[in-house]
Structures are given as structure tokens and as C-alpha cells.
Structure 1
Amino acid sequence: MSDIRFDGRVAIVTGAGTGLGKSHALELARRGAKVVVNDLGGSVSGEGGSLSAAESVVREITDAGGQAIAHGANVTRIAEVQDMVDQTLKTWGKVDILVNNAGILRDKSFSKMPLEDFQAVVDVHLIGSVNATKAVWEPMREAGYGRIAMTSSSSGIYGNFGQSNYGAAKMGVVGFMNVLHLEGQKYGIKVNTLSPTALTRMTEGLIPEEAAKLMTVESVTAGLVYLVSEDGPARTILCAGAGGYAATKIYETPGVYLAPEDQTPEKVAENFNKIVDPDGQQEFEQGGQQTFKFVEYAARHFGVKLG
């Protein structure tokens, strides 16, 4: 298989001053992409700001012979994000790749979490991804090409104590991906989601030292680079960490049909084991498939022909 290259491509990576974002930016540049290194330069919890981290990554890229510019847009502010995209278009004429990586943490159990902390985390992870994607969407549609990666987490897909804000945002980007996949595919836009595990500022102190040594950002970036490549997949949740790679899929069980007289909470309870039985489960690609399935069940019961 030939090497994956990005010669002539232009990529924006948010939150690219440190950690995973920095690793993504460096590797994309190493493989030929022109990179916009976006970073607000704030703390893990989102306070403060400085362009120095982004500028440092730009220097690494340019010192190695690549092309990069820094931008300190706060992804929660659409005007700043739009300015970043406008500057990218002015500098290089297009945006081929967007990596939505920027994030913060404000962990607390839900009962103790101020709503301001819930809002702040959702704003960065989910609304920040929305803002950046909105700003690049039309240029990508007009060009007939785009690769967008969301960043999710097992905390959203499966849950993690003390991260209701983070989990809600991280599952939100999965739903966002699902819809954008449907709306973007005829314009050559592929949208995927990365679910990473790595040792970063956000995970420091939470993982035993010996295990942490295995959790390199580079191992995660290998998955990200494939997701945003020309021949990469679409509508995929790729999990990556410590050299392990897997895909998360959402399935729906066949379920049961209950006749009108049996559509009661008691009958749902009585049939619950059948409802959750995974045998014959399916992966749907759009919400209408579930509706059609249930309507087919009902039509079969009443002897109604569809279509």
C-alpha cells in the first residue's frame, strides 16, 4: 500500500498547541499538508489564553520544511472561527481538512457541578465543533471535497463518573457526524469521529505510570490521519489508543410488535427480554430506517401492503 500523503491539501486542526492536536498537526504537515495550528492557549479547564503554544508548533513545522500558520481563535466564538477560516482561504485558497480537537475539562459529579461548568464544556467540545464545521462547510461544498473529523470519547459513548458535561458533548458530536454524513456525501465531504485514549494534559495523573507510557499521542494520530485521508472511511467512530484500534457501532435490536390492545407498559415489561435480545440486530444509517421497520411490523399485523 502506498504512503498516505496530503501534498497540496490544507488542514485546520483546533486545539493543536499541545497533546493530541499538536501530534495531529505535526503528522499532517510531515505528510505534506499545509496546516493551520489553532489554539487558544488556555488551561485544561479553559481559563486564560496565549498564542505561544500554537506558534511553537508552527515553528516545529516550518523548521522541518513544512508550511503552517497559527491562529488563536476561541472555537466557541463564531466570529473568531470565521476569521481563522477567512485567513486560511486568503493564504492558501481552500480548506480540505478540519480536525475538531479543541477541548476542556471541568469534572465533577452532576449533583455538585455548577451549570456554568456544564455549559462551558458543551460550548467548547460540541458548539466549538459546530462553529468550525459551519465555517468550512460552504468552501468544502463548493470545492466538492472535504474531510472532517470530530473528537468523541468513551466517556460519551459509554459513560464515565464525574463527566456528565463532557460525556454529553462527546456523544453530541457523534449525532452531529451522523447527520453531516448524510448531507455532505453528495458534495464529496466525508465526516468521521475519532475516540482517542492517550496520555495528555487531560489524562495526566489518572493513569498508572507504566500504562501511561504505552498511551502515546502518536498512536492515536495514526488513526486520525487515516480518517481524514482521501481514501478514508465515512461515518466511522474509530477508537484508538496505546496501539489498539477498534470501531464503535450503534445497533438496534429487531424488537417486537405489540398489537394496539397490548401497547401498555405492562406488555412492554412482559416482552422486555425480547425487546433487548441482540439476535438479528442491525446498524442503521439514518433515523427513517427505524420508522420504516416499525411501520412494517404494524402493516404486517394488519395485513396492509406497503409500497
Structure 2
Amino acid sequence: MSIDFKGRVAIVTGAGGGLGKQHALALAARGAKVVVNDLGGDVHGVGGSVSAAQAVVDEIRAAGGEAIVNGASVTDFAAVQAMVQQTMDTWGRVDILVNNAGILRDKSFAKMDLADFRLVVDVHLMGAVHCSKAVWPIMQAQNYGRIVMTTSSSGLYGNFGQANYGAAKMALAGLMQTLSIEGEKNNIRVNCLAPTAATRMTEGLMPEAVLKALEPQAVVPAMLVMASEDAPNRTIICAGAGSFEVAHITLTQGVHLGLTPDTPERLAAALAQVTDRQGETVPLSGAAQGTLEVGKAMVAHGG
């Protein structure tokens, strides 16, 4: 089965370089019309120019594809709405949104300014919220949409010096969980990509040989699958160096202890059983936790 995007329109944020650029080029190469969005700032979110994004548009057009440039900051909802309107005016639909834009303001939590925490959350989380909110009614009306959130192992598993980045990236997984449920009836599928790729944001963090193996192009196939007509839904695909995995947020079977004055002590004593991963599940929604807990309570009380 060949994955192609003929007749599809895609918006890729942060597409002036790195992973976003590769996403835009790959979508265009397979037939999508692409909005190449990039504020043009540095990795810290400073500055702004559409020159990098325009270069990507020029490359797509030189290869025979269709693309337009957009310099909106994803932190500005009005500008994002204008970008989506520009897309609709140009091509009349939006099928794919790849929320890729991001910045870094790395420091240990003790040394981190709250302004740097807020800005990183604003770009990664609120940027994805703004873009998703702007395309959502369009995707609902056309009964088709594919949204890819860019999460990270730093959010899923933590990373020293990235409390702001990790919090924002884990929040995107939570956003995906709910949007995938709400969008299902309108054939809007929402997934997360957790990339390991060498970009401007990883320079200086890894040895040269490792950086070479982690070329951004090796992550792109996961995005293409999540943007395709046969995309999964509510899936976190991890990708790097040509390898692909899926991350799950799971729920252990746990134990029912009831509520008595010594429940805290009994819980402390039973933690090994509570954390035992044998028989753990991947809940279909947040309600599954309550269902499990109430079910245990009913059994314990003979209900």
C-alpha cells in the first residue's frame, strides 16, 4: 500500500528547518499542498524572518510541488487563524496539521526563570492548541482530519534541565488523548510523534557519530503514517535512527484497601503490589481508572 497525499492540504509549523522542514518536503513529495509555517526565530524563540520558510517553499516548488509560506507565531491565536484562513483561501481545505514548532530554554529547575518556563509552555502547548483549535471546525465540517502533535521522551520520561520542555511535551500527550476521543466521530485522528533527531535544538548535546545516525529524515516515516488516510488514532509513536516504537500510559491492576485509619500504612506496605505491572492495561479513556476502582470496591463489599 502506497501512502500518498494527492488532493490533501497540510500545515506544518516550525517548518523552516530541522524536522519540520523534512516533514514539509516529505508531504509535498507525496502530493500534498503544504503551508510552510515558521516564525524564523532561533532555537530560543528570539528573532523572526520568513526567509528559511521561503527557502523550503522554493525547494518544494522547484521539485514540482505546491507550497505557500507563512510567518505566524503559533503563540498568537489571531495570526494562526489568519494562517488557516490563508490556507482556505488558497486551497479550500485543511486535511493535515503537523504541530512541530518549538523552542528550548534549558536550565535546571532551581535556576530557571518562570518567564522561560511560561514561554516554552506557550510555544509548545498553547501553540498546538491554537493551531488545532483553528483547524478543528474545518476538519469537523469536511469529516476528515489528521493532527500530529510533537511530544518528546523528555516529557514522557523526563530529562535533566528540561522541566519546562518536558512539562509542555507531556501536556501535548494529554491534549492528544482527549482530542482523539472527541474527533473520532468526524474522522479526525490525533496522534503524537516522539522524535529523536539531530536538529538545531540538539546540536552540542550528542557526539557527532550519534548526530549522524539521528538525521531528521529517519523520523519522517512515522509522521507520514500518522498523517495518512489509514492513520492510527490515539497513538504515541517514538522514532529515531530508523527505529520505531510505541509509548503507552498504562494502569496497573492495583489493590483495593478500603478506607480505614491505617489505610496509609497498609498502602505503604502494599506498594510493591500496587506498582506490579503484571496485567496492566492501556485504558481507552480516563473513565477506565474510575471503573477499575469502583469495580474493586464493589467486589470487596460483595456488590
TM-score tier (shorter) = over 0.9
2:56 maps to amino acid: V
Q: Which residue of 2 aligns with 1:148?
A: 147
In structure 2, the residue corresponding to 1:167 is in which secondary structure?
Answer: helix
Q: Which residue of 1 aligns with 2:199?
A: 200
Give distance in 1, aligned partners of 2:166 and 2:146.
Answer: 24
Offset of 1:302 from its aligned partner?
A: 1.2
Q: Which residue of 2 aligns with 1:94?
A: 93
2:253 maps to amino acid: P
1:223 maps to amino acid: A
Alignment of 1:7-22 (within 5 A): 7-22=6-21
2:143 maps to amino acid: G
1:220 maps to amino acid: V
Alignment of 1:165-184 (within 5 A): 165-184=164-183
Offset of 1:13 from its aligned partner?
A: 0.1
1:209 maps to amino acid: E
Alignment of 1:180-259 (within 5 A): 180-259=179-258
2:120 maps to amino acid: V
Show structure 1 runs of 5+ residues with no match: none
Provide the alpha-carbon RMSD of the alignment: 0.8
Offset of 1:264 from its aligned partner?
A: 2.1
1:63 maps to amino acid: A
In structure 2, the residue corresponding to 1:259 is in which secondary structure?
Answer: coil
So what's the TM-score if we normalise by structure 2?
0.99
In structure 1, the residue corresponding to 2:219 is in which secondary structure?
Answer: helix
1:271 maps to amino acid: A
Offset of 1:267 from its aligned partner?
A: 1.0
Q: Which residue of 1 aligns with 2:119?
A: 120
1:23 maps to amino acid: Q
Give distance in 2, aligned partners of 1:132 and 1:115.
Answer: 24
Q: Which residue of 1 aligns with 2:41?
A: 42
1:31 maps to amino acid: R
Show structure 2 runs of 5+ residues with no match: none
In structure 2, the residue corresponding to 1:82 is in which secondary structure?
Answer: helix
- Tell me the alpha carbon deviations over residues 33-55 of structure 1, each in whole angstroms, 9 at most, x when there is no partner: 00000000001000000010110
Give distance in 2, aligned partners of 1:189 and 1:221.
Answer: 20
Alignment of 1:8-87 (within 5 A): 8-87=7-86
Offset of 1:263 from its aligned partner?
A: 6.0
2:61 maps to amino acid: T
Decide which moves more: 110-119 or 212-221. 212-221
- Tell me the alpha carbon deviations over residues 202-251 of structure 1, each in whole angstroms, 9 at most, x when there is no partner: 00111111111111111101111111100011111000011111000111
Give distance in 2, aligned partners of 1:285 and 1:15.
Answer: 31
Give distance in 2, aligned partners of 1:111 and 1:54.
Answer: 36
Q: Which residue of 1 aligns with 2:133?
A: 134
Give distance in 2, aligned partners of 1:214 and 1:268.
Answer: 45
1:120 maps to amino acid: L
In structure 1, the residue corresponding to 2:161 is in which secondary structure?
Answer: coil
Offset of 1:301 from its aligned partner?
A: 1.3
Offset of 1:303 from its aligned partner?
A: 1.5
Give distance in 1, aligned partners of 2:122 and 2:256.
Answer: 40
Give distance in 2, aligned partners of 1:204 and 1:64.
Answer: 29
Q: Which residue of 1 aligns with 2:263?
A: 264
- Tell me the alpha carbon deviations over residues 93-145 of structure 1, each in whole angstroms, 9 at most, x when there is no partner: 00000000000000000000000000000000000000000000000000000
- Tell me the alpha carbon deviations over residues 146-202 of structure 1, each in whole angstroms, 9 at most, x when there is no partner: 000000000000000000000000000000000001100000000000000111000
Give distance in 2, aligned partners of 1:74 and 1:261.
Answer: 53
Give distance in 2, aligned partners of 1:98 and 1:196.
Answer: 17
Q: Which residue of 1 aligns with 2:300?
A: 301
Offset of 1:262 from its aligned partner?
A: 6.2
In structure 2, the residue corresponding to 1:213 is in which secondary structure?
Answer: helix
